[in-house]
């Protein structure tokens, strides 16, 4: 009993600290667009820039198509949350940015993302440009060699939320409570 109370207190403290850090960042960022300008391509091969993150709220996730668990799970959950929002979230846009552009061509992204959702847009491009974008968004990524010459990618597993001005509006952590994630997306859609 005492252990569960302590765990509950720690969870509440962690959530409170996260909320305070988010509010501090939001107040000190002055609503400036998050990240930096970029020029990449979407899953159809069409040019896409930071302008895609303006004029509507956005959810942006960085991952890769060869990811065994985190990426497909996150994309599936994100699609489910967008469906639950219905008309309330009709202006909310979602993006999946590859941190493995060497393998993740526009064609592969189109097939991969298209199998999950028609509401999520895949983004890829030249490796140096993709990595510059990821760095500007504060995304951690690292290539990890596997046996037999293959590799996987370690990466940040949070969804970044941006308001209609492209400013940072929070995150959804991997494995976050679905009700909490949906509430964040509802609030974001309401601000858009």
Look at residues 7, 191, 188 and name the one whose alpha carbon lies nearest to residue 94: 188
Same domain flag for 24 and 43: no
Residues in a beta bridge with 155: 141
Instruction: Write the CA distances from 23 to 18, 92, 145, 150, integer angstroms.
Output: 9, 21, 38, 41
Per the CB < 8 A criterion, the answer to whether 40 and 74 are in contact is: no
Residue 23, pLDDT score = 44
Same domain flag for 8 and 102: no
Same domain flag for 22 and 65: no
Residue 1, pLDDT score = 61
pTM of the entire predicted model: 0.83
Same domain flag for 3 and 47: no
Same domain flag for 41 and 20: no
Q: How far apart are CA 79 and CA 114, in angstroms?
A: 11
Residue 100, pLDDT score = 98
- Tens digit of each residue's pLDDT, the chain (192 residues): 655 544 445 444 444 444 434 444 444 445 677 889 999 999 999 999 999 999 999 999 999 999 999 999 999 999 999 999 999 999 999 999 999 999 999 999 999 999 999 999 999 999 999 999 999 999 999 999 999 999 999 999 999 999 999 999 999 999 999 999 999 999 999 876
Instruction: Write the CA distances from 16 to 12, 23, 145, 169, integer angstroms.
Output: 6, 11, 38, 16
Q: How many independent structural domains does the chain possess?
A: 2
Same domain flag for 17 and 107: no
Same domain flag for 98 and 113: yes
Look at residues 64, 58, 98 and name the one whose alpha carbon lies nearest to residue 78: 58
Other C-beta atoms lying within 10 Å of the C-beta of residue 149: 6
Domain that holds residue 5: 1-30
Same domain flag for 26 and 44: no
Sole residue written with tokens 């940040």: 156
Residue 14, pLDDT score = 45
Same domain flag for 25 and 40: no
Same domain flag for 22 and 38: no
Residue 146, pLDDT score = 93
Residue 68 tokens, joined = 């065994």
Q: What is the β-pairing status of strands 159-162 and 58-63? A: antiparallel
CATH number, domain containing residue 72: 3.40.30.10
Same domain flag for 97 and 149: yes
């Amino acid at each position: 009993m005492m252990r569960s109370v302590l765990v509950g207190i720690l969870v509440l403290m962690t959530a409170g600290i996260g909320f305070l850090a988010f509010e501090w960042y939001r107040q000190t960022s002055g609503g400036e667009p998050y990240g930096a300008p970029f020029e990449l391509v979407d899953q159809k091969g069409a040019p896409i820039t930071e302008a895609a993150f303006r004029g509507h709220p956005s959810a942006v996730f960085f991952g890769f198509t060869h990811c065994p668990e985190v990426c497909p799970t996150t994309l599936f959950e994100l699609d489910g949350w967008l469906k639950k929002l219905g008309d309330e979230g009709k202006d909310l846009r979602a993006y999946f940015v590859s941190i493995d552009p060497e393998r993740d061509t526009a064609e592969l992204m189109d097939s991969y993302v298209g199998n999950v959702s028609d509401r999520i847009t895949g983004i890829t491009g030249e490796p140096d440009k993709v990595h510059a974008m990821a760095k500007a968004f504060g995304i951690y990524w690292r290539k990890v060699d596997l046996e037999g010459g293959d590799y996987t990618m370690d990466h940040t597993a949070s969804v970044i939320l941006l308001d209609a001005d492209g400013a940072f509006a929070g995150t959804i952590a991997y494995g976050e409570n679905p009700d909490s994630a949906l509430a964040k997306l509802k609030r974001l859609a309401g601000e858009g």
